[in-house]
Amino acid sequence: MDFSLTPEQQALFASMLKLGQDVIAPGAADRDKSGVWDPAVWKATSAAGVAGLPIPAEYGGSGGSILDCCLVNEALAQGGKDGGFGLSLGAHWVIGSVPIWLHGTEEQRQRYLPGLTSGELIGAWASTEPEAGSDAGGILTTARRDGDDWVLNGTKIFITNGPLADVCTVLARAPEGPTAYIVEAKTNPGFKVGRELDKMGCRSSPTAEIHLDECRVPQSAVLGEVGSALWKIAFECFDWERTVMLAATVGGMRSTIDETIRYAKDRQQFGKPIAHFQAIAHKIAQMEINYQVVKNAVYKAAWLKQHDRPHVIEASTAKVLAGELSVQNALESIQIHGGYGYLRDFPAERALRDAKLTSIGGGTTEIQKMIISRTLLG
Ligand SMILES: Cc1cc2nc3c(=O)[nH]c(=O)nc-3n(C[C@H](O)[C@H](O)[C@H](O)COP(=O)(O)OP(=O)(O)OC[C@H]3O[C@@H](n4cnc5c(N)ncnc54)[C@H](O)[C@@H]3O)c2cc1C
């Protein structure tokens, strides 16, 4: 296997790392504390072409491959140290824009993708409900026909970018089965943004409840076929989440290790840097081992996806490893920082709170193990 990156990919990674360091990192700690989204950061990263990376040039995007998207996600997370930015960007890309590109009519693509790729519009996806999380097929939101329109009613929860979204694809139960509807969120009076959720991590990304209250959309808002959106669209979204979005966790892990090494070399106890104690050095070695394992798993799954090869087990494996090992690394980073690691002044505790989401959002660790075991056992 060839693990090398092309010169263009190396340059892309380097420029996105710098963008993360220069534009995202400076206010990351403050945004985490106050739990706010900064539109200026979105504007600056969009101006650098980030918002439309996975979408083809004919719709205003950059036509990045799956691996390109992983590299950009990883680099921005590594340089930017802001799990919330990665979450919002990931949602905008893989569940907000990609379904419209892959399943939309030409009219839908032309209507939404240029705005989504320039970053002028923000995308979101709403399938999860208070009573239907892991069991995505258990949604209760209804879609009924009324003349030429559809009318949606129900409640969604945990919707990333919910308060920001201009375009939100909503999964609802039509008489024929689960169907996806593109809702123009800011102008549709039936799309009501409810409570904003106060999260433990990724706090710079807004997450909200959405109430669909007689939310009327035209027939032209149906994304894909009526009745088959769960298998054809939602499950594909989860697949992108388990490959492209996971690369942000890889970048976050790298940044945590680098910061921990810096601290361990700098902090003196018993007359020498704590990095000189084998107990600390071995913790750092284990953190690196965990990072290598996660990076290889994520990029292998992404490579398989890019080459259209089966990757169900690999993607779920990557998700389990990333979810568990990123948390282990963040905990070890806190331990190496001692009392200071327990304070909000250092990035270690933020890394822990941000990392925890990887084992929950887009399919929990338990669900990944269910997918792997079902695939193996038939
Ligand atoms: C910050 C954040 C952002 C999110 N963004 C979005 C978004 O943009 N759009 C969207 O639609 N959703 C989003 N989600 C929802 C996310 O995908 C769900 O939270 C996730 O799928 C789990 O569903 P749940 O929270 O209802 O947990 P539940 O499904 O209630 O699970 C609770 C526990 O039971 C376990 N469990 C459930 N079923 C089984 C089973 N069959 N076997 C074994 N264990 C099981 C789970 O693993 C978990 O440990 C987001 C969530 C978070 C926290």
What pLDDT does 267 receive? 98
* pLDDT over threshold 90, residue 2: no
pLDDT, tens only, 88-146 = 999 999 999 999 999 999 999 999 999 999 999 999 999 999 999 999 999 999 999 99
Encode 145-188 in three state secondary structure: EECCEEEEEEEEEEEECCCCCCEEEEEEEECCEEEEEEEECCCC
* pLDDT over threshold 90, residue 247: yes
If one counts every other C-beta atom within 10 angstroms of the C-beta of residue 122, the result is: 26
CB 67 within 8 A of CB 17: no
d(CA 178, CA 359): 26
CA of 229 from ligand 1 middle (Å) equals 19
d(CA 18, CA 24): 10
Mean pLDDT across the stretch 162-171?
98
Q: Across the chain, what does the average pLDDT equal? A: 97
Instruction: Name the β-bridge partners of 95.
Output: none
Mean pLDDT across the stretch 243-251?
96
What pLDDT does 57 receive? 97
Alpha helices in the chain (DSSP H): 7-19, 28-34, 39-47, 66-80, 83-90, 98-103, 106-118, 229, 235-240, 247-266, 278-306, 312-336, 338-341, 347-355, 365-377
Q: Is 241 a catalytic residue?
A: yes
Mean pLDDT across the stretch 304-332?
97
* pLDDT over threshold 80, residue 1: no
CA of 364 from ligand 1 middle (Å) equals 6
pLDDT, tens only, 136-158 = 999 999 999 999 999 999 999 99
Mean pLDDT across the stretch 353-362?
96
Domains detected in the chain: 7-118 (1.10.540.10), 123-227 (2.40.110.10), 246-377 (1.20.140.10)
Ligand 1 pocket, residue 249 CB under 6 Å: no
- Among the atoms of ligand 1, which is closest to the Cα of residue 134? 29
CA of 239 from ligand 1 middle (Å) equals 15
pLDDT band for 345, please (50, 70, 90 cuts).
confident
Mean pLDDT across the stretch 301-313?
96
pLDDT band for 64, please (50, 70, 90 cuts).
very high
What pLDDT does 346 receive? 87
CB 357 within 8 A of CB 83: yes
Residue of 94, 97, 127, 128 to mutate, ligand 1, most atoms within 8 A of C-beta:
128
Ligand 1 pocket, residue 197 CB under 6 Å: no
What pLDDT does 88 receive? 98
- Among the atoms of ligand 1, which is closest to the Cα of residue 162? 8
- Among the atoms of ligand 1, which is closest to the Cα of residue 161? 8
If one counts every other C-beta atom within 10 angstroms of the C-beta of residue 11, the result is: 11
pLDDT band for 186, please (50, 70, 90 cuts).
very high
Ligand 1 pocket, residue 127 CB under 6 Å: yes
Residue of 135, 141, 158, 167 to mutate, ligand 1, most atoms within 8 A of C-beta:
158
CA of 115 from ligand 1 middle (Å) equals 30
